[in-house]
Amino acid sequence: MSQQPAPAARYRTRPTIVDAIRFDGTHASVLNVMHFVDAGRGTTEIRIRAAEKASGSSIEIPSPDGWVCIDAGDWLMRDANGRLARYSNTVFTADYEPLPDGEE
């Protein structure tokens, strides 16, 4: 007797709380990202590239998976495992919302 394949079903992502910061291309934003990335992890290097692209400034940040490149307007996210990931503003704001004050 063979089993019938399960029918398609709908899924949603589990609620996940992440830390994130938006890079806007300014010098102050570079410093804020540097503090965000270091956050007790001992990061000693961040690469800053000139604003030669239409998108403006970009920075590269070291991670265990290689260098993460973020452009002005992108979000840098750190998940519960400490992994860094880049998200465009469109994707980040579609997937995440600010946590209400006092909620962890």
Q: Supply the pLDDT for residue 22.
A: 94
Distance of CA 86 to the CA centre of its chain: 4
Locate the domains of the chain by residue range: 19-95
Kindly report, residue by residue over 6-24, the tens digit of the pLDDT. 777 777 777 788 899 999 9
pLDDT class of 37 with cuts at 50, 70, 90: confident
